[in-house]
């Protein structure tokens, strides 16, 4: 929200990424809100009551983790970590301690455990898939929600807009940091990720 721009074809590209990842997750038996792609710009999804938390998975220090801890950018974490952020624009989406989450009754302790576990599983899977095509998953933000049967499902989108991806050889960013820090034209960097994953765009 701090920087605004429009790019031709961005919606179609993000749609293609999200469909690709959701379909691949379904093949692994992981349920998400995704039902089917309807056109190059539309998908049918299950209606969710969104959990007011953004779940962030991290494997390598970058972004706000470096600012908060002083860890150098690029430092490999001993093991992946999961952090919850409060989805409240007016507060600037702050990181929360579990004590705050339960104090405000945002989710139950059981649901929180499930969110952390699902985030870990999804992060580990995406790490493997991206590594197969010579990218390093640095971190990723996921959103979940409850469907009409009160099942917790992955929602929102999965695209280079919601993760950090570095080329394993050059270290080049292929994610939203390219736009945030004006590193290069954004769309070609995203297209390279799509090309390596063999996503039709």
Q: How many CA atoms lie within 13 A of 196 on its CB side?
A: 17
Say how far apart CA 85 and CA 188 lie, in whole Å: 30
Binding to ligand 5GP by residue 80, rule CB under 6 A? no
CB of 187 to ligand 5GP, least distance (A): 16
Which residue in the set 32, 53, 130, 139 belongs to the binding site for ligand 5GP (CB under 6 A)?
A: 139
Binding to ligand 5GP by residue 45, rule CB under 6 A? no
**Chain residue whose CB lies nearest ligand 5GP:** 63
Tell me how many residues contact ligand 5GP (CB under 6 A): 15
Q: Closest CB to ligand 5GP among 164 and 189?
A: 164
- Of 5-13, 97-105, 107-115, 157-165, the segment contacting ligand 5GP by CB under 6 A is 157-165
Q: Closest CB to ligand 5GP among 33 and 176?
A: 176
Interface characters, 98-137, with ligand 5GP (x: CB under 6 A): ----------------------------------------
Binding to ligand 5GP by residue 162, rule CB under 6 A? yes
Neighbours of 182 (CB within 10 A): 10
Q: Closest CB to ligand 5GP among 64 and 191?
A: 64
- What part of residues 1-30 is at the interface with ligand 5GP (CB under 6 A)? none
Helix, coil or strand: residue 65? helix
Q: 3-state SS of the chain: helix, strand, coil percent to 5? A: 35, 25, 40
Say how far apart CA 4 and CA 35 lie, in whole Å: 31
CB of 194 to ligand 5GP, least distance (A): 17
Residues 172, 57, 92, 69: what is their CA dihedral angle, to the nearest 10 degrees? -80
Contacts 24+ apart (CB under 8 A), 120-126: 120/57, 120/80, 120/82, 121/30, 122/25, 122/30, 122/57, 122/154, 123/57, 123/59, 123/80, 123/82, 124/80, 125/25, 125/28, 125/30, 126/21, 126/158, 126/163
Binding to ligand 5GP by residue 161, rule CB under 6 A? yes
Which stretches of the chain bind ligand 5GP, using CB under 6 A? Answer: 54, 56, 62-65, 93, 139-141, 161-164, 176
């Amino acid at each position: 929200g701090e920087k605004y721009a429009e790019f031709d074809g961005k919606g179609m590209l993000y749609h293609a990424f999200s469909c690709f990842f959701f379909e691949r997750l379904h093949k692994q038996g992981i349920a998400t809100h995704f039902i089917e792609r309807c056109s190059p710009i539309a998908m049918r999804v299950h209606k969710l009551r969104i959990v007011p938390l953004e779940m962030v998975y991290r494997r390598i220090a970058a972004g706000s983790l470096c600012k908060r801890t002083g860890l150098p950018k690029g430092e490999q974490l001993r093991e992946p970590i999961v952090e919850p952020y409060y989805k409240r624009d007016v507060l600037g989406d702050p990181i929360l301690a579990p004590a705050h989450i339960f104090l405000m009754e945002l989710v139950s302790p059981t649901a929180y455990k499930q969110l952390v576990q699902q985030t870990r599983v999804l992060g580990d899977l995406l790490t493997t898939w991206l590594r197969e095509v010579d990218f390093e998953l640095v971190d990723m933000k996921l959103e979940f929600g409850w469907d009409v049967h009160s099942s917790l499902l992955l929602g929102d989108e999965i695209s280079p807009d919601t993760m950090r991806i570095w080329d394993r050889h050059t270290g080049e960013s292929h994610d939203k940091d390219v736009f945030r820090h004006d590193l290069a034209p954004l769309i070609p960097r995203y297209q390279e990720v799509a090309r390596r994953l063999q996503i039709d765009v």
